[in-house]
């Protein structure tokens, strides 16, 4: 950075990370369905956009629908999954779901790359679940069924979070995932709005709503 840049304020500034960091997310050691050891924050969250849900392999309630819908979401996101969006499913019942059980589940549902299933120590998983999905209502927080039907979306570098039920429409879930992405520049948003307005002018509001 030279004197001119400093004086004119045109220096390129590295954006300061506002991530909650490992103190919040914890660096608990988890195991993937491939039986690899990973640290929760450093390896899975840091500098990434992630989609997280809790599940267990023998769940017969909301889980099968959740997995089916997340498979569609993965497909809708295409090659972004595993490149700039990472999907994680964490077990609620680590005493049942060891890496082998999770691997079997992955195989059974034909889950593609970029979506990792995780297990670990109950203490760590409870901590992580409360930090992601806590309602501040013990009646709900301790009913594990309450946490199988939601996804938490996090963009770590800008600490932007969103949440969506897993039984929502697929495009709605994809939209909820996009909500955590950095805000586009004003000009881009203005152009998008103008394009939408032009559509409304041409088709009418009802027709426009039906297409979006």
Partner 1 sequence: MKAVVCFLIGSLAFVAGGSAAFAAQTCDFDITGTWESSPAAGQEASQARYRFEPNGTVISLMKVSTGGSVEWRERTDPAFFLYRLDKPKAPTSIELIDQDGVTSRTTMKISRFDQDSFATLDANNEPMPWVRVDPKRHFVMFAGRAGSVQSGGPSFAMLMSTENGRSQVDAFGFYPTEEAPIVGTIPSELRRKFLNDPRVVEDVMLRVEVTGTEFARAQTVMRNWQRRENEGRMLYDVPYLNNIVFLEELTKSLNQCGEKLHAKKLTWSINDPIISKRNLPQVSYYYIKELRQLNAPQHVADKEFRQRTDVRCAGSCS
Q: Which residues bind partner 1 (CB under 8 A)?
A: 23, 26, 61-62, 92-93, 95-96, 122-123, 126-127, 129-130, 134, 136-146, 148-150, 163-168, 172, 175-176, 179
| Residue with smaller CB distance to partner 1, 79 or 121 | 121
Q: Which is nearer to partner 1, 120 or 149 (CB)?
A: 149
Q: Residue 131: how many CA atoms within 13 Å on its side-chain side?
A: 19
Q: How far is the CB of 129 from partner 1 (least distance, A)?
A: 8
Nearest distance from residue 66's CB to partner 1, in Å? 10
Contact predicate 131/161, CB 8 Å: no
Sign of CA dihedral 165, 167, 171, 174: positive
Cβ neighbors of 36 (< 8 A, separation 6 or more) are: none
Question: Which CB atom, from 22 or from 114, has the smaller least distance to partner 1?
Answer: 22
At 129, phi and psi to the nearest 5? -60, -45
Helices (H) and strands (E) in the chain, counts: 9, 7
Cβ of residue 211: shortest distance to partner 1, in angstroms?
15
Q: How far is the CB of 154 from partner 1 (least distance, A)?
A: 16
């Amino acid at each position: 950075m030279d004197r001119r840049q400093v004086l004119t304020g045109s220096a390129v500034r590295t954006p300061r990370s506002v991530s909650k960091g490992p103190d919040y997310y914890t660096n608990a050691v988890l195991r993937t369905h491939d039986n690899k050891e990973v640290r929760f924050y450093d390896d899975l969250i840091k500098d990434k956009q992630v989609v997280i849900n809790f599940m267990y392999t023998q769940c017969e309630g909301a889980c099968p629908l959740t997995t089916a819908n997340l498979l569609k979401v993965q497909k809708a996101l295409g090659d972004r999954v595993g490149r700039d969006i990472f999907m994680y499913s964490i077990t609620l019942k680590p005493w049942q779901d060891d890496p082998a059980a999770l691997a079997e589940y992955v195989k059974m549902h034909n889950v593609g790359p970029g979506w990792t299933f995780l297990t670990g120590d109950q203490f760590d998983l409870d901590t992580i679940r409360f930090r992601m999905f806590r309602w501040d209502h013990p009646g709900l927080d301790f009913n594990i069924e309450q946490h199988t039907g939601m996804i938490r979306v996090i963009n770590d570098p800008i600490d932007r979070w969103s949440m969506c039920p897993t039984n929502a429409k697929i495009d709605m879930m994809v939209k909820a995932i996009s909500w955590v992405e950095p805000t586009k520049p004003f000009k881009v948003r203005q152009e998008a709005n103008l394009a939408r307005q032009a559509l409304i002018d041409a088709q009418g509001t009802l027709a426009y709503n039906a297409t979006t």
